[in-house]
A and B are shown apart, each in its own frame.
Chain A
Amino acid sequence: MTTASPAAKERSFTDSIKDAGLAALVALVLASAIMGLRTTSLPGVGGLVVVPDLPLVVGAVLVVFVGRLLLDLFVWRKIIRIPVGDKWYRRPGGRPLAHHAQRLGIMFGPALLVFAVILPFLPVSDRYVMDLSILVLTYVMLGWGLNIVVGLAGLLDLGYVAFYAVGAYSYALLAHYFDLGFWVCLPLAGILAAFWGVILGFPVLRLRGDYLAIVTLAFGEIIRIVLLNWYTFTNGPDGISGIPRPSFFGLEFERGEHGFAGFFGLDYSPMHRIIFLYYLILLLALLTNFVTIRLRRLPVGRAWEALREDEIACRSLGINTTNTKLTAFATGAMFAGFAGSFFATRQGFISPESFTFIESALILAIVVLGGLGSQIGVVIAAVVMIGGLEILRELNFLKVIFGDNFDPTSYRMLIFGLAMVVIMVWRPRGLISTRQPTIALGGRKPISGEYVGEGQG
């Protein structure tokens, strides 16, 4: 099992069997306790009892055996060749995909944009599709925001969701205590989130790498715990409900003459608000993208990337690294704040439950899987991850196979975690790893990901 290097091609089929057998043995050991012996409480018996579950163990061992064998035969050692697949995963640098993406990328972005703009008017767009699209776009925006911090400046932030929470709570609390509307609160939420970014960032930004990651994680948790326990101010775990919905230039989405539908002489439909929210988040996301692209071509953006490449060299060139890091942190936090207040107005209800560490991990995974620094990569990764997570909710059809006791939602996160591991092992640098230069004398040539630094802090 320890010798599954791709180079060892000469070995025979029996070796593959042996290797898969070993893997199955390990699987047997792993599965024996946790899967094979289930603790449950039976009626009438005090405490827990252990119920053996042999079929599950056998199933797991078989899956591992067959899976390992197939992978070994077709992918790692290629004892049996598949004619088409070769180009895809064979090359270590991952050139082909990046190359295609590059060539397609020129048309891909605009095409995607056009698609996003006309989506609400497509026949497939029912309530479900629109809700899902809004969710995906929210994560695209968060991914783009975090991309500034992690992808450009190379600062590993595991507490990004804290700024999302600050944005959401800013709007909810301002609306609750001061009766302010969405449009007033949106910039305020962004400013407050950026402000918190500076406050939290200032002491910690001299830390490097994993230490920065763990401290940002700690800050994220602190903010969540405070929101959870400051009952008099934030209503604690019960959350804040009745958050006002956004208006369209003063027109509320409601029945009657003074509503949006009445004003434009349309029939009232609840979809209007959904479509409006969709365009709102699309606009916010595009604003994030536009500003990021602009900033990359400005001195501050170049300084961020230079910081990621070599901090000491930056200092030797007169760049104030603390300020530069802070601007990256604050800019990223600001966009999270915008996204947060959008989230609050869309849900109408928020509670600390929505801002757990797993959200930060999800956003970071989107950024890393998309390819650090790549704007289009974030979009692809967000569609795949968020779309995938939602599709996993719809696994009820599997009940046909596994029986009625099968509960697809509990498998959702399990599959999600596995997918994270598999994609990362498959493409450690993300789907699109090339970097676009920000300025050129001749033509702009994409830079291969292997040259691009990953940041120290």
Chain B
Amino acid sequence: MEYFVQQLINGLTLGSIYGLIAIGYTMVYGIIGMINFAHGDIFMIGSFIALIFIILLGVTAGSSFLLLLFALLLVLVIAMALTATYGWTVERLAYRPLRTSFRLAPLITAIGMSIVLQNYVQVVQGARVKPLQPLISGNFTIMEKVTPEGNFLVNLSYIQILIVVTTFILMAAFSLIIAKTSLGRSQRACEQDRKMASLIGVNVDRTISLTFVMGAALAAVAGMMYLLYYGVIDFYIGFVAGVKAFTAAVLGGIGSLPGAMLGGLLIGLIETFWSAYFSIEYKDVAAFSILAIVLIFLPSGILGKPEVEKV
């Protein structure tokens, strides 16, 4: 039981990170119907930018709480802004010229962009893994089990709280943007019918650009959380995280924001429990199998709209 609760906490934390990345996939897929293959690498870029600025600001675990909080917020804002610029540029260079072209072309450029971003970071920052001393340590002990071998503690660490709370605040903020602002309305209009939206005066290019910017900014948050949680990153983290986040988006129902979050949490939980109870080597197999099974039996995901075949 105690072990189960601990895994539940870990799974939810991991799931929050997946969910943040998944939102980027789901928004882009919703609006232009393509898998933004480079999105996982945008997440990786975000975590590198966060790493660079954390080191640059020189904050350590020893810094005072207020200073640490302020520094992390600053890093978060910088990482979001810079990563968003990357997201914008990728769309501008590799996807926009092909928007009216046929379906496979943007997929190939997306794969190309993914290769470019990975190798760009590898060339400039080096191929070695980048460690970061833990900045936020400490935890609450919420359960305790006394066994002859020693005590098993169920810990809820501050960093886990930070990740989950940040995720939910951002999630709420973005849902609000989609639901209430004119940008959100434009986005939903473009999702329904891009041509019609442009006819009634929606700036389609701008809306799509902003979608990429928002997705990249959220991916940057995920990247920073990943860095703080695991304390080690490299140029290759984007691929696997990206595929899992896409799985999450599909599982939740692609095009749906709450779906992406729900899917992220589920994938995080499945992966954590699979590693904890079965085998850690096959945790990716579990995630990929879930993807295949969901798509086969529930093609529109948990919260997605079912697709009706038009004859």
Contacts and interface: CB of A to CB of B under 8 A. Distances in A.
Nearest to B281: A229
A210 interface: yes
Contacts of A195: none
B121 A34 contact: yes
A204 B122 CA distance: 35
Interface centre among B111, B123, B299, by most A CB within 10 Å?
A: B111
Contacts of A228: 281
B94 interface: yes
Interface centre among B98, B132, B296, by most A CB within 10 Å?
A: B296
B252 to A, nearest CB: 14
Contact of A429 (B102, B125, B131): B102
A219 B120 contact: no
Contact of B120 (A34, A50, A207, A419): A34
Contacts of A420: 108-109, 111-112, 115
Nearest to A312: B311
B291 A218 contact: yes
Interface centre among A56, A214, A365, A372, by most B CB within 10 Å?
A: A214
Interface in A410-424: 410-411, 413-414, 416-421, 424
Contacts of B45: 34
A30 B115 contact: no
Contacts of B205: 2
Interface centre among A38, A411, A413, by most B CB within 10 Å?
A: A413
Majority DSSP secondary structure for residues of B touching A: helix
Nearest to A202: B296
A424 B53 contact: no
Interface stretch (B85-93, B156-164, B175-183, B261-269): B85-93
Contacts of A48: 51, 55, 130-132
A2 B289 CA distance: 41
A217 B243 contact: yes
Interface residues of B, number: 70
Majority DSSP secondary structure for residues of A touching B: helix
B137 interface: no
Contacts of A29: 82, 85
Contact of A33 (B52, B92, B243, B309): B52
B223 to A, nearest CB: 12
A305 to B, nearest CB: 16
Interface of B: 29, 33-35, 45, 48-49, 51-53, 55-56, 78, 82, 85-86, 89, 92-94, 97-98, 101-105, 107-109, 111-116, 118-128, 130-133, 205, 239, 243, 246-247, 250, 281-282, 284-285, 288-289, 291-292, 295-296, 299, 309, 311
8 contacts: A33-B82, A156-B104, A207-B295, A217-B243, A225-B285, A368-B104, A424-B105, A454-B103
Interface of A: 1-2, 26, 29-30, 32-35, 37-41, 47-50, 56, 150, 156, 203-204, 206-207, 209-211, 213-215, 217-219, 221-222, 225-226, 228-229, 312, 357-358, 361, 364-365, 368-369, 372, 410-411, 413-414, 416-421, 424-425, 428-429, 454
Given A35-B124, A204-B292, A425-B93, 16 more contacts: A29-B85, A32-B82, A38-B124, A39-B130, A40-B126, A48-B55, A207-B295, A207-B296, A210-B35, A213-B107, A215-B295, A219-B292, A225-B282, A226-B285, A418-B112, A421-B93
The 3 tightest CB contacts between A and B, nearest first, are: A417-B115, A420-B112, A417-B116
